[in-house]
Amino acid sequence: MQAVLALEDGRIFRGKSFGAPVERVGEVVFNTSLSGYQEIFTDPSYAGQIVVLTNPHIGNYGTSPSDEESSRPYIEGLVAREFSPVSSNWRSTEVTDEYLERSGVPVIAEVDTRAIVRHLRANGVMRGVISTAVDDTNALVAKARAHRRMDGTDLASTVSTKVAYQWDSAQPLNQTGDALLSAENSAGGQTLHVVAYDYGIKQNILRMLARENCRVTVVPARTPAAEVLAMQPDGVFFSNGPGDPEPLDYAQANIRELQGKAPLFGICLGHQLFGLALGGKTYKLKFGHHGGNHPIKNLETGKVEITAQNHNFNVDPASLPDDVAVTHVNLNDDTLAGLKHRTDPMFSVQYHPEAGPGPHDSHYLFRQFRKMMEEWKH
């Protein structure tokens, strides 16, 4: 079956249909990761987006429950150069094509992904449609133009958990039932209680917090700060998530209320919310940062970290007040990649230190959070 990717500016790409034979609309972005496609599929930060993968061969190692970052794929659609109809890996439990078909995600393959990426880099991310209705491309372009923009859209509350739940080191298991976190990986010492706001939280974040011997309570995005404080947390975590941070006024208010009352740590969308809550401003990047190879410089240590990133919005460093310090900078484009408050125990980064997929250079940030909680507790 043939498929079409129609962009809002009228550019048309024709290819072959895989996955679910359905029509989907979303903002089209590209990801430069070399592996970890299932983690990308299931990252809730991709809600509302069609993802173009620059790695030319996708699907060859199948899918596995232990590679999922959430309960299901959140991408609206997938664009690939070559999409494997078979899988060859001892960990695979389902062929990628069948996995995406079962999940209702359309795939267009055998297209020139290099041309798509160059087009997005030159013109910026834009809305698009994946469809098997290849006859009326003008109608598909019109659907793309009529679709809501990511700017000004609160998607975090739509992907967040509806009820609070507990997570601890006994829970994250792989497909064979073996604990992913061995005793030697645990931080040891006193178990600390972290309340994590779920704006689209990834499973590996919870695993990393558990590895630091933290008992985690995950709460919905709109949970009032007073309810969180009533849980007597040793620290509060603010997760990644999709969409524009600016409409999340409820989250910004919670951060301001929690500031100075417990150690706070934010990642990605959580980082953008920190910037807004502290008096800064955010803006949309031309084509975002999506991939596992972004160099970040830690200004406090001088070290460079290779990081995983997935975001379209960024904090403007010039808008931050004097009591906020810039801690990390993206070496590709000099954008803000980390901040901390100069007096209150709170810090955040504009990347994914938990990886999943990606390098492990930034795992130290979870240890830094634990150390902050220990110092606050004593």
Runs of H (alpha helix) within 224-301: 225-230, 249-258, 269-277
Is the link from the previous residue into 357 a cis peptide, with omega within 30 of 0?
yes
Which long-range contacts link 223-229 to residues 24+ away (Cβ below 8 Å)? 223/164, 223/197, 223/254, 224/254, 225/253, 225/254, 225/257, 225/258, 226/257, 228/195, 228/197, 228/254, 228/258, 229/258, 229/261, 229/262
What are 123's two structure tokens? 């013109």
- Whether 373 contacts 195, CB under 8 Å: no
What is the C-alpha to C-alpha distance for residues 233 and 261, in angstroms, rounded to an integer? 10
Q: Is 214 a catalytic residue?
A: no
- Whether 193 contacts 215, CB under 8 Å: yes
What is the C-alpha to C-alpha distance for residues 280 and 189, in angstroms, rounded to an integer? 37
Beta strands in the chain (DSSP E): 2-7, 12-19, 24-31, 49-53, 57-58, 77-79, 82-83, 106-109, 126-131, 165-167, 192-198, 214-220, 235-238, 264-267, 282-298, 304-315, 324-330, 336-341, 346-349
CA distances 30 to 45, 125, 242, Å, are: 13, 9, 15
Catalytic annotation, pick one of 119, 212, 268, 271: 268
Strands 126-131, 2-7: pairing is: antiparallel
Place of tokens 């150690």: 263
Nearest to 271 by CA among 158, 153, 353, 211: 353
Q: Is 268 a catalytic residue?
A: yes
CB atoms within 10 A of CB 228: 22
What is the C-alpha to C-alpha distance for residues 57 and 51, in angstroms, rounded to an integer? 14
What are 81's two structure tokens? 């150069």
What are 141's two structure tokens? 């372009």
Residue 324 amino acid letter: V
Active site positions, annotated: 268, 352, 354
